[in-house]
């Protein structure tokens, strides 16, 4: 057998052996800070389709993966609704995405209504957009600037002390990033851990 061929066999065998000792099924984020998010179109749960790029002209877009049944996500319902209200007049759009296969569109629409979220929650059937972005939990935030460039990714708040209690939930991780984007400044902490429930994929 030729030398190059032997080397390949050797490399493959050793590679497999090492891989067997370092298995991982952790999801990988597919978009990096500073990259532009590609457009997507998803139906509002039980309603009309929305595209990301229809928010052209906004100063920032907050995309939040959320859930109807996850206590960690539900703890932030009031925080998300207040965020949308507080920043509506400052050119910020909030868009929710539900990618859980276990939570049907009718349930998502009802959840948005009863919790007075006040922003569209889109249904990502087949978790296509969640897969494209590498979103893995709820709640998980992707903050885009007016050019749809990712400026912050991670938690709404409570990244140091996860909570399922609404009275403890806050948006202390996202707000400084959002303020920085609105002020045209660099985001100091562009990534935090988005602790929560794993998105239930197909």
Q: Which is nearer to other proteins, 36 or 201 (CB)?
A: 201
Residues 41, 51, 106, 198: which binds other proteins (CB under 8 A)? 198
Q: Is 2 in the site for other proteins (CB under 8 A)?
A: no
30 binds other proteins (CB under 8 A): no
Does position 183 interact with other proteins (CB under 8 A)? The reply is no
Residue 116 binds other proteins (CB under 8 A):
no
Give the angle subtended at the CA of 85 by the CAs of 36 and 106, to the nearest 5°. Answer: 80
Footprint on residues 161-180 left by other proteins (CB under 8 A): 161-165
- How big is the chain by its Cα radius of gyration, in Å? 19
**Other Cβ atoms within 10 Å of 71 Cβ, number:** 13
- Whole-number minimum distance, CB 45 to other proteins, in Å? 20
3-state secondary structure of 28: coil
Tokens of 151: 């400026």
Over the window 46 to 85, marking each residue x when it contacts other proteins by CB under 8 A and - when it does not, the resulting string is -----------------------x-x--------------
Helix axes 77-88, 174-182, angle to 10 degrees: 10
Q: Edge to edge, what strands does the sheet with 150-154 contain? A: 121-123, 92-98, 60-65, 140-145, 150-154
Distance, in Å, from the CA atom of 157 to the CA atom of 139, rounded to the nearest integer, reads 10
Residue numbers at the binding site for other proteins (CB under 8 A): 1, 6, 9-10, 13-14, 17-18, 20-29, 69, 71, 102, 136-137, 140, 155, 159-165, 192-201
């Amino acid at each position: 057998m030729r030398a190059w061929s032997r080397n390949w066999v050797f490399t493959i065998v050793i590679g497999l052996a090492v891989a067997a000792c370092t298995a991982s099924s952790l999801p990988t984020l597919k978009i990096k800070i500073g990259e532009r998010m590609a457009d997507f179109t998803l139906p509002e749960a039980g309603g009309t389709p929305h595209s990301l790029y229809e928010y052209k002209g906004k100063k920032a877009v907050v995309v939040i993966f959320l859930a109807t049944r996850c206590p960690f996500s539900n703890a932030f319902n009031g925080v998300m609704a207040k965020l949308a209200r507080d920043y509506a007049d400052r050119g910020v759009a909030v868009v929710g995405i539900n990618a859980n296969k276990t939570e049907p569109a009718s349930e998502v629409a009802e959840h948005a209504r009863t919790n007075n979220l006040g922003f569209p929650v889109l249904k990502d059937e087949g978790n296509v957009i969640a897969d494209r972005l590498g979103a893995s939990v709820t709640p998980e935030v992707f903050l885009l600037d007016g050019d749809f460039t990712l400026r912050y990714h991670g938690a709404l708040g409570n990244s140091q002390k996860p909570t399922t209690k609404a009275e403890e939930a806050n948006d202390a991780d996202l707000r400084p990033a959002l303020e920085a984007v609105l002020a045209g400044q660099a985001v100091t902490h562009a990534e935090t851990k988005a602790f929560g429930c794993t998105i239930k994929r197909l």
